[in-house]
Amino acid sequence: MSNIEGTFRGFNDSVIHYRGWEPEGDPQAVLVLVHGYAEHSGRYAHVADYFVNEGYAVYALDHRGHGQSAGRRGYFERFQFLVDDLDTFFGLVRQRAPGRTVFLVGHSMGGLLAAAYAIRHPGKVDGLVLSGAGVRVGEDVSPLLRAMSGVISALLPRMGVTQLEAAAISRDPQVVARYDSDPLNYRGKVPARVGAEMLKTARWVMREAHTITCPALIMHGTADKLADPAGSQELYEAISSSDKTLKLWDGLYHEIFNEPEKEQVLAFVRDWLARQTSRRF
């Protein structure tokens, strides 16, 4: 396995950091990991390692305002900027692995972003894997964010309106401790503009979800308090994919790739991907 890191210019010339994990020889397919809000691509190294060992090439970017990318920490003006950054990155990935099947694997806000990308760029995505997609706000997210972020966003876009609770990400205390101590994670409050943009995008994705036709695996922990599992159920029912799977993981928290049962989750994704790639050859 070889690791790569670099930067590219995203929307408005913003410097976006990315990394990749590549197997020896040609990959059987490519995964583009799309991380969630307030975290960074490095938190998915264990996921990448798992799938590189299965013969996949894996690439991930840090969203603007996240990780090692440029921008005010935890902030972006428009959700569409993230979609545009991802599109540029998608082109770079296609150059590194021409002709290969490419799956978008998105978690939380990254799941919302992956779905939005599939809607905005039909035909570019060969398959979607969504984990705890942020298409509906969970019960632990401040009602202020839901009720007033739009109003505050127009007047005080950078004002923090709610704090995400780290303990809600995983039942593994070591995962929570590492999350809290990671300097590349954003631990401030969610700015009003960011909250408003995510809520607006979630509504738009649900309206346009019927246009998604690529194979899709939608997963969610039933004990997720940050992103409502009902949102994944609704998304599953709304998309028009003829090949779609909904997997609800009983009792798991928000980050199903970081739960004590993560090996079961990864194996489930592996088997789903294997079925998809076998149908293409």
CA-to-CA separations, 86 to 61, 93, 106, 199, in angstroms, rounded: 8, 10, 11, 19
What pLDDT does 160 receive?
Answer: 72
**DSSP-assigned beta bridge partners for residue 248:** 220
Of 92, 100, 110, nearest in space to 38 by CA: 110
Check if CATH label 3.40.630.40 holds for domain 129-260. no
- Judged by DSSP in three states, 202 sits in helix
Within the chain, which residue ranges are assigned CATH 3.40.50.1820?
Answer: 1-103, 129-260
Check if CATH label 3.40.50.170 holds for domain 1-103. no
Is 94 a residue whose pLDDT tops 60? yes
Span 239-251, average pLDDT: 99
Dihedrals phi, psi of 198, to nearest 5 degrees: -70, -40
Q: Would residue 142 show up in a list of annotated catalytic residues for this protein?
A: no
For residue range 254-269, what is the model confidence (pLDDT) as tens digits? 999 999 999 999 999 9
Of 35, 66, 107, 254, which is the active-site residue?
254
Q: Would residue 108 show up in a list of annotated catalytic residues for this protein?
A: yes
Token output for 63? 């969203």
What pLDDT does 142 receive?
Answer: 52
Q: Would residue 254 show up in a list of annotated catalytic residues for this protein?
A: yes
Of 108, 131, 153, 232, which is the active-site residue?
108
Span 209-238, average pLDDT: 97
Q: What percent of the chain has pLDDT over 90?
A: 86
Cβ-Cβ contacts under 8 Å for 273 (sequence gap 6 or more)? 29, 31, 51, 54, 56, 103, 127, 129
Q: What span, in angstroms and rounded, lies between the C-alpha atoms of 281 and 199?
A: 39
Of 84, 85, 224, 228, which is the active-site residue?
224
**Sign, Cα dihedral of 228, 233, 236, 237:** negative
